[in-house]
Amino acid sequence: ALIEFEVPGNAKFGTTKNLTSIIVNYGPDMLNGGTLTIEGKGYNEESEFIYLTTIVEPFGPIAFPDHKTVVLEWTAPEEAMLIDWVATIVSVDDNTDDNNTQYGTTKVKE
């Protein structure tokens, strides 16, 4: 896949620190830059649906010179002590006209 993302080391979605980080690895087609939209969502213990903050992050040679890895962080809601989180790459625009929007999902269990 052109884009993969994962939760680093011992970071968890919906921890007591309410901080979630995600590592995004993207391939050579993304080196012209573009916009990455990530949406976190999950369910609490009462099976109520909760959204994390949506991230729209620009990327590319200027913003991230190593061309490979981006670490994004966002704050989860106070009540987000979840068993499952799903973080989804909603869309990627790589500043080309070939309309190759990429999607990906990762699921993390505590």
* Within-domain flag for 89: yes
Question: Which pLDDT value is given to residue 90?
Answer: 44
CATH of the domain at 59: 2.60.40
Question: Which pLDDT value is given to residue 102?
Answer: 40
What is the DSSP-derived secondary structure letter of residue 28?
Answer: G
What is the domain count for the chain?
A: 1
* Within-domain flag for 101: no
Per-residue pLDDT for 49 more than 50? yes
Q: Which residues contact 59 (CB under 8 A, 6 or more apart)?
A: 24, 26, 30, 33, 34, 35, 36, 70
Per-residue model confidence as pLDDT tens digits over 57-81 = 554 444 444 444 444 444 444 444 3
* Within-domain flag for 110: no
* Within-domain flag for 57: yes
* Within-domain flag for 71: yes
* Within-domain flag for 109: no
* Domain span holding position 37: 3-95
Per-residue model confidence as pLDDT tens digits over 86-100 = 444 444 444 454 444
* Within-domain flag for 44: yes
